[in-house]
Amino acid sequence: MAKDKKLVEAITSMDVDFAQWYTDVVIKAELIDYSSVKGCMVIKPAGYAIWENIQKELDARFKATGVENVYMPMFIPESLLQKEKDHVEGFAPEVAWVTHGGLEPLQERMCVRPTSETLFCDFYAKEIESHRDLPKLYNQWCSVVRWEKTTRPFLRSREFLWQEGHTAHATAEEAEERTEQMLNLYADFCENVLAMPVVRGRKTDKEKFAGAEATYTIEALMHDGKALQSGTSHNFGDGFAKAFGIQYSDKNNKLQYVHQTSWGMTTRLIGAIIMVHGDDSGLVLPPRVAPTQVMIIPIQQKKEGVLETAENLRQAMAEAGIRVKVDATDKSPGWKFNEQEMRGIPIRVEVGPKDIANGQAVLVRRDTREKIVVALADIAAEAAKLLDTIQVEMLERARAHRDEHTYTAHTYEEFKELADTKPGFIKMMWCGDEACEIKVKEDTTCTSRCMPFAQEEIGEVCPVCGKPAKAMVYWGKAY
């Protein structure tokens, strides 16, 4: 991810070059910096603070369902990785290998974890003996390494941060229940915290996780009409348990294999926030994930009482639970306004001598730029209400955008025309044959995003081949 371009003078319009707009935003908003380690990024304080809020919100939700945090080693012996055939084949092209310890070659090479299923399985094989040991509901926050050929900040990098949950259950029913529970948890988090609407569904066998029986996904639509897989939850059945010998004695003292799940979200969510909500001025952060929710900008701050009033407002809002700062730097107010907008801070408070004389201040919404005059005594309460309003309306706008860019194809010709001219999701029936999936990708570069839980009957046959249809699928071009 190394690049010579360090400074961005102006943000490219998203309608001119969406990819460049995205890069300009992450650099100018100081979310990341390029690294001398090719394919990796430095996550700067402004970017990491967003991840901390994501982590805090998700972690609380996990723990409310009984999940506990653990930590596994970052190295996986090759022999351990080889135990589950489908799994290792799925990850082989992306694995980074360690071959030396110091100056000495290792007796067995180690991979830097691309994911930790094998480590958890090895651990569970020793940890689980009886039905009384189940369920195991573990999660870890860590980084993983996947040797990607093409990288882009947050969306795809060779090392990225994530959480990976790994659970073990006595029955297939319990595992399926947990798999769907975590997917729904992810969907609720995206919609209620990130203000990002998602489609919930199941991946086709071609697109599912290597080694899983079933993969469930939430798919979001970015501003440019491309899809982004935003979280996945996998039901492993007892496949990994059989490969690793994870058994327990049931209530009748008979040995049974456990059933497992895995689920994860990554720092690509930050990229999703940028591409769903951002505009030509920069970031637009949903209040519930914004590190700073309100920025107070004193006008003519050297005048008597201005900074004191700004500090009093900050204290009142902080006591109301709002994440708030005062920009008391010597930059001009116009500069500060532009900076607040570029960084996506949801509310700006403008207060100067004339405002103080009138007992008021001005609240400015980042998302709509609407200005609202509020009495100084009411600032904290009104700001809290406005943050809630912004959160709700950002989700409504994002949902409206997604719905306006979701199309239905009844024939394959119609599908190809839509794929060529209308960026967005395309709903089309499918026969269940992988050959049709491959043809769609070859003809249009669209992939199956998911078979949504909310199925619709939009035809009786697969438009690609004419065979009886088995499911309605969301298709789209994706990051």
Rg (CA), the chain: 25
Q: Residue 469 domain-assigned?
A: yes
Q: Residue 394 domain-assigned?
A: no
Residues 367 and 417 in one domain: no
Q: Are 57 and 288 in contact (CB under 8 A)?
A: yes
What span, in angstroms and rounded, lies between the C-alpha atoms of 78 and 94?
14
Residues 375 and 413 in one domain: no
What span, in angstroms and rounded, lies between the C-alpha atoms of 145 and 95?
7
Residue 41, sorted as left (phi over 0), alpha (psi -120 to 50) or beta, turns out to be beta
Residues 271 and 298 in one domain: no
Query: 273 by DSSP, 3-state: which?
Result: helix
Query: 11 by DSSP, 3-state: which?
Result: coil
How many CA atoms lie within 13 Å of 150's alpha carbon, on the beta-carbon side?
1
Per the structure, the complete domain to which residue 65 belongs is given by 18-277
Q: Residue 415 domain-assigned?
A: yes
* pLDDT score for 456: 96
Which residues lie below 8 Å from residue 276, measured CB to CB, with a gap of 6+?
194, 195, 196, 220, 221, 222, 223, 398
The token pair that represents 81 in the structure block = 């990785």
Q: How high is the mean pLDDT in each 10-residue block of the chain (479 residues)?
A: 51 96 96 94 98 98 98 95 78 91 96 95 97 98 94 95 98 98 98 98 95 96 98 97 97 98 98 98 98 97 95 98 97 94 98 97 98 98 98 98 98 98 98 98 98 96 98 97
Residues 298 and 240 in one domain: no
What span, in angstroms and rounded, lies between the C-alpha atoms of 30 and 14?
18
Residues 270 and 325 in one domain: no
Could you give the number of structural domains in the chain?
Answer: 3
Residues 159 and 103 in one domain: yes
Q: Any idea what the CATH number is for the domain that residue 431 is in? A: 3.30.110.30
| Burial status of residue 5 (CB atoms within 10 A of its CB: 0-12, 13-18, 19 or more) | exposed
Which of 221, 250, 277 finishes a domain? 277
* pLDDT score for 81: 87
* pLDDT score for 211: 87
Residues 203 and 113 in one domain: yes
The token pair that represents 38 in the structure block = 């090719």
Residues 348 and 412 in one domain: no
Q: What is the pTM of this model?
A: 0.94
Residues 115 and 247 in one domain: yes
Residues 315 and 457 in one domain: no
Q: Any idea what the CATH number is for the domain that residue 199 is in? A: 3.30.930.10
Q: Residue 328 domain-assigned?
A: yes
Quickly count: other Cβ atoms within 10 Å of residue 294's Cβ. 28
* pLDDT score for 255: 98
The bridge status of strand 347-351 relative to strand 360-365 is antiparallel
Residues 198 and 324 in one domain: no
Residues 104 and 241 in one domain: yes
Report how far Cα 453 is from the mean position of its chain's Cα atoms. 20
